[in-house]
Amino acid sequence: MIDFARVQKELVECSKDAEGSGIRVIPKSDNLVHLIGTIPGPIGTPYEGGVFQIDITLPEGYPFEPPKMQFSTKVWHPNISSQSGAICLDILKDQWSPALTLKTALLSVQALLSAPQPDDPQDAVVAQQYLKDYQTFVNTARYWTESFAKTSSRGIEVKVQKLVEMGFPEAQVRSILEAVGGDENLALERLL
Amino acid sequence: MDDYASSDDDYNYSDDQDSVGDVFANDDLDFPLVSSKGSTTQVITKESLLAAQREDLRRVMDMLSVREQHARTLLIYHRWDVDRLFGVYVEKGKAFLFAEAGVSVDECRDSSSLAYDSVMCEICMDDVPIEEATRMDCGHCFCNSCWTEHFFVKINEGQSKRIRCMAHKCNSICDEAVVRTLLSRKYPDMAEKYERFLLESYIEDNKRVKWCPSTPHCGNAIRVEEDDLCEVECSCGEQFCFNCLEEAHSPCSCLMWELWVKKCRDESETVNWITVHTKPCPKCHKPVEKNGGCNLVSCICGQAFCWLCGGATGREHTWSSIAGHSCGRYKEQEKTAERAKRDLYRYMHYHNRYKAHTDSFKLESKLKEAIQGKISISEEKNSTTVTDYSWVNNGLSRLFRSRRVLSYSYAFAFYMFGDELFKEEMSEDQREIKQNLFEDQQQQLEGNVERLSKVLEEPFETFKDKKVMEIRMQILNLSTLIDNLCKTMYECIENDLLGSLNHGIHSIAPYKSRGIEKASELQVSWSNKANNTGVTAEVERPEESGCSSRKRARKEGLGGGFFDLNLPAEFLDRN
């Protein structure tokens, strides 16, 4: 049986500090079993500026069993599946402790974004790239952040559209935008 | 540290509780109190499981001056390897040993929160009265209901043997007394499960102890003292190889046996049936099925032939003349034969002989009954010269034992001289020399086993005393001879064949003249039955643990009941 009283308290606690940490947890429905967490991409990483959504499902035994967390925002990271958003993080598995909370767990996920562990990968392709071609990894991660983790006004689609309207072929625009990490001006320079 | 001395203390202490006369008058105690040290293997039953681990627990408790629960946590962490545990202690010190295994011994008693009436439980985030919260040895304090749920979840996850504290990154293992107490209040079934898991850790996590592989399971486990490469018989009658838990298969190594079993299973049933169950009579070519123990078979047409090679033979072939009996020798097929075909023939050659001896063994098991009948008839004759017939049974045991050795020796030879395992090990010439050496010994053994089999089938109950004495001498001589031949063959296998391997290690269970060792019962010298399921950690009832409760415990058995793991050690500590 989920301890809803505790979940309720956690939500209150989390919202108090939402401005400071940037971490938010809101119920997806009204039963508190499904929640949505959001974390800002850590500063100084390819995820900077992005806002990442995480689907949270509480198991029956919460808080004695770990919450199930999965990125619903696509993210390019060695320990997060680029397909499903599954997260490889010890505290969400055997290192979970009932003394941890949704907020501390999300903080750990945020820390994972800043410190990838390519030796214990969830996504082998990403991990390979991280180890062998770090610059490409950074570019791809930044491009994905631009494409999926930013609000649409600043989103990549707008930039693509703009450049296509300037007369460049769409496929080329997309690949160059990806290569330069979504920077519109850099992309234009390259295209010219 | 002398563990025997410490266990003696146990017994002395318990004797003090009883009157001495009572102990000896007790008809339950028709066995020695001290577990038998003569045998190297012991049966651990549900009843003696507690006693079995006591010695290890006590050694650790005495050495490190810790309570039983801490000793258990340490031992579980080190998989009940006391020597390894002490090694870590000597090398890295007590603090490391404890920290590594998650034992906290009253280090961080923080009394500040005790000043208040209530504490805030960080798990449920509620304020709870101080008496409804529990502080573990590591110093972390949470409310009882949160602890209980934590234990419940962990045990369900199968982690009952090492339940860690709820605090993040705290490696400390929860006090088993607290787990027991709190669980039994809300989930008595779970508490019982927990109790059983703790007890059975001694079997599950211990390389010296294994469950008997019998099906349906007899409930016993076997403990070996030194070498885990041995064959053992459980008190339920199951004989098995302690190393791989398959049937006893020496002189095959475990790997050879695994491959052999798989191969036998994979070969087509039809081929098996034809090659294994029948032999064409060399004269009339009818398939002949064997229904008697010895390997000299007579077809209804009157032709005698050897069951092993299928060749027509006089009655001399199989048992009387060893020199003439050469069918156990493997003859290489013509070079032109296709390799696959040769492999199949090769397999069939060994398998047929393996199977022939296994089948003989089964048929001879029937012989046992017949022999008992003969013995009782003989005994009724009240002969003056022959009064004791134990030699018949001894001869029979020798026959059974050597039959098994013989049948497994064919599976052994299949791999020893084949390409599958040892192709790189020896040159063709070396192989041939070794194979000849081995086959000579195998054949000698085989010939004598057949002779013994035949002599044992003699209707000695109808013979005169003088003839019986002759038969007795024959059986005695053959038994000694066969025993020696087995020994020699094992020496050859261990030293000349397996011993000279360069790659890979194939070890076999040693030959034992007396057959597969029957594990001795580990005697329950001290079992205590707790009164009910609501066992608490603090139970200490020295007065009740005397003879009376011990007798009761044994008579009732402990099935379904509770062991109180703490009791004996706790109050022994105080003495």
Average pLDDT, chain A: 86
Task: Report the relative pairing of strands B231-233 and B239-241 from DSSP bridges.
Answer: antiparallel
Which range among A131-135, A168-172, B29-33 shows the weakest confidence by mean pLDDT? B29-33
B222 three-state secondary structure? strand
CA-CA distances (angstroms) from residue B507 to A84, A136, B540?
Answer: 49, 54, 49
CB-CB under 8 Å, A5 with B124? yes
Any residues with CB less than 8 A from the CB of B257 and at least 6 apart, and which? B241, B244, B246, B249, B408, B411
Q: How many CB atoms lie within 10 A of CB A53?
A: 18
- What pairs with residue B44 in β-bridges? B221
Cβ atoms of residues A70 and A92 within 8 Å: no
* Amino acid letter, B122: E
CB-CB under 8 Å, A97 with B125? no
Give the pLDDT confidence score for residue B265 in this predicted structure.
Answer: 77
**Chain B residues closer than 8 Å to A97 by CB:** 166-170
User: How sure is the predictor about A151, in pLDDT bands with cuts at 50, 70 and 90?
Assistant: low
Q: Which residue of B has its CA nearest to A60?
A: B153
Taking only the tens place, the pLDDT of each residue in B414-438 is 998 888 888 778 888 888 898 999 9
Give the pLDDT confidence score for residue A57 in this predicted structure.
Answer: 93
B244 three-state secondary structure? coil
User: How sure is the predictor about B338, in pLDDT bands with cuts at 50, 70 and 90?
Assistant: low
- The mean pLDDT value for B253-257 works out to 89
Assess A66–B contact: CB distance below 8 Å, yes or no. no
Instruction: Inform me whether the pLDDT recorded for B476 exceeds 50.
Output: yes
B292 conformational bin, left if phi > 0, alpha if psi -120 to 50, beta if neither: beta
> How many contacts, defined by CB atoms under 8 Å, are there between A and B?
37
Question: Exposed, middle or buried: residue A169 (CB in 10 Å: 0-12, 13-18, 19+)?
Answer: exposed
* Measured distance CA(B397)–CA(B476) in Å, rounded: 12
Cis peptide before A63 (omega within 30 of 0): yes
* Measured distance CA(B503)–CA(B90) in Å, rounded: 36
Residue among A95, A7, A96, A17 at smallest CA distance from A57: A7
**Chain B residues closer than 8 Å to A3 by CB:** 124
Instruction: Inform me whether the pLDDT recorded for B108 exceeds 70.
Output: no
- What pairs with residue A53 in β-bridges? A38
Taking only the tens place, the pLDDT of each residue in A93-139 is 888 999 999 999 999 999 999 999 888 888 888 988 999 999 999 99
Strand order in the sheet with A24-27: A24-27, A34-40, A51-57, A68-71
Query: Which residues of A are known catalytic residues?
Result: 88
* Measured distance CA(B201)–CA(B199) in Å, rounded: 5
Give the pLDDT confidence score for residue B369 in this predicted structure.
Answer: 85
Interface test with A, best of B121, B153, B154 (most A CBs within 10 A): B153
Q: Could you list the beta-strand ranges (E) of B39-181.
A: 41-44, 118-120, 127-129, 133-135, 141-143
Between B20 and A33, whose confidence is greater?
Answer: A33
Instruction: Inform me whether the pLDDT recorded for B529 exceeds 70.
Output: no
Q: Which residue of B has its CA nearest to A90?
A: B169
Cβ atoms of residues A169 and A72 within 8 Å: no
Give the pLDDT confidence score for residue A45 in this predicted structure.
Answer: 92
Smallest Cβ–Cβ distance between B124 and the set A6, A61, A65 belongs to A6
Q: Percent of chain B beyond pLDDT 90?
A: 17
Give the pLDDT confidence score for residue B32 in this predicted structure.
Answer: 36
Between B504 and B492, whose confidence is greater?
Answer: B492
Q: Percent of chain B beyond pLDDT 70?
A: 74
**Chain A residues closer than 8 Å to B182 by CB:** none
Between B28 and A46, whose confidence is greater?
Answer: A46
User: How sure is the predictor about B112, in pLDDT bands with cuts at 50, 70 and 90?
Assistant: low
User: How sure is the predictor about B316, in pLDDT bands with cuts at 50, 70 and 90?
Assistant: low
User: How sure is the predictor about B143, in pLDDT bands with cuts at 50, 70 and 90?
Assistant: very high
Phi, psi of B175 (to 5 degrees): -60, 120
Assess A97–B contact: CB distance below 8 Å, yes or no. yes
CA-CA distances (angstroms) from residue A175 to A45, A77, A140, A160, A171?
Answer: 21, 19, 10, 10, 6
Q: Any idea what DSSP says for residue B164?
A: B
User: How sure is the predictor about B337, in pLDDT bands with cuts at 50, 70 and 90?
Assistant: very low
CB-CB under 8 Å, A9 with B123? no
Provide ipTM, 2 decimals: 0.77
Helices and strands, counts by H and E, chain A: 8, 4
Q: Does domain B254-515 have CATH number 1.10.10.10?
A: no
Q: Please name each of the domains of chain A with its CATH number.
A: 4-114 (3.10.110.10), 124-191 (no CATH)
CB-CB under 8 Å, A65 with B123? no
Q: How far is CA B492 from the centre of its chain?
A: 26
Phi, psi of B67 (to 5 degrees): -75, 165
- The mean pLDDT value for B356-371 works out to 84
Which range among A55-69, A140-154, B116-130, B211-225 shows the weakest confidence by mean pLDDT? A140-154
Smallest Cβ–Cβ distance between B153 and the set A6, A10, A61 belongs to A61
Which range among B333-342, B436-445, B448-457 shows the weakest confidence by mean pLDDT? B333-342
Between B97 and B20, whose confidence is greater?
Answer: B97
CB-CB under 8 Å, A64 with B149? yes
Interface test with A, best of B121, B123, B145 (most A CBs within 10 A): B123
Any residues with CB less than 8 A from the CB of B501 and at least 6 apart, and which? B422, B425
Q: Which residue of B has its CA nearest to A65?
A: B153
Question: Exposed, middle or buried: residue B418 (CB in 10 Å: 0-12, 13-18, 19+)?
Answer: middle
CA distance A97 to chain B (A): 5
Between B290 and B29, whose confidence is greater?
Answer: B290
Domain ranges of chain B: 254-515
Question: Exposed, middle or buried: residue B310 (CB in 10 Å: 0-12, 13-18, 19+)?
Answer: middle
Helical ranges in B173-216 per DSSP H = 176-186, 188-204
CB-CB under 8 Å, B146 with A98? yes
Give the pLDDT confidence score for residue B115 in this predicted structure.
Answer: 60
Assess A65–B contact: CB distance below 8 Å, yes or no. yes
User: How sure is the predictor about B574, in pLDDT bands with cuts at 50, 70 and 90?
Assistant: very low
Q: Any idea what DSSP says for residue B239?
A: E
Which range among A115-124, B304-313, B403-412, B506-515 shows the weakest confidence by mean pLDDT? B304-313
* Measured distance CA(A184)–CA(A163) in Å, rounded: 8
* Measured distance CA(A116)–CA(A121) in Å, rounded: 9
Query: Among residues B138, B212, B294, B486, which one is catalytic?
Result: B294
Interface test with A, best of B119, B124, B125 (most A CBs within 10 A): B125
